Amino acid sequence: MFQTKAAARQHFLEARRLRPHAAGLLASAQQVLPEVYRVALYVSMGPEPQTGALIDWLLATNREVLLPILYADNDLGWGVAPGAADLVPGRLGLSEPPTDLGSDAIATADLVICPAVAVTHDGVRLGRGGGSYDRALARVRPGTPVWAAVYDTEIVDALPSDAHDRPVDAALTPNRLIPLRGSGDD
């Protein structure tokens, strides 16, 4: 379907831009979230599936939330979410926690929910192209579930991929959690 990652990225980002509104992930996550203590998540921006209410709910239910800190080389450090009001401005307009625990802190997460532009039924994740999450996902502890946050229409049969791309286990949409082939869930 798509010849290049750039073409796929452009297609899905344009479709998101045209969405009448961005939907949140809270309701679907509440129904499927496993018994976990530490969740690595991200602060959504613009038309991405919204994570704000999910972060607030996780904190209110005594879970710890790790949020990314974007480094100058596009790698990610991680910090504990203090609450939305206490985030600080980061690179590229991102909101970040004030304290950096380092890039290896993601290995302490019990669940990782990462952003994606699209994902395939067999777990190929398409990001925004900076490689930040592929590097971070390489540090995730083996066996830790990794979910990509997307809309239902962004789950497709095929996407271009490279050897360094890190697969995901499931797609979390505003409507449901979809296990992906090759995730060990089928």
Encode pLDDT of 40-93 as tens digits: 999 998 899 999 999 999 999 999 999 999 999 999 999 999 865 688 888 877
* Three-class SS state of 37: coil
Could you tell me if residue 85 is inside a domain? yes
Annotated binding residues, written as ranges, equal: 43, 48, 125-133
Q: Print the domain residue range for 155.
A: 5-174
Residue 179 lies in a domain: no
Residue 49 lies in a domain: yes
CATH number at residue 48: 3.40.50.10420
Number of domains in the chain: 1
Structural domain includes residue 72: yes
CA distances from 154 to 90, 131, 182, 185 (A): 27, 19, 18, 20
Binding site members for substrate? 43, 48
Give pLDDT tens digits for 116-172.
999 999 999 999 888 899 999 999 999 999 999 999 999 999 999 988 888 999 999
Q: Is 167 domain-assigned?
A: yes
Which amino acids are annotated as binding site for ATP, given as ranges? Answer: 125-133
Question: The pTM is what?
Answer: 0.91
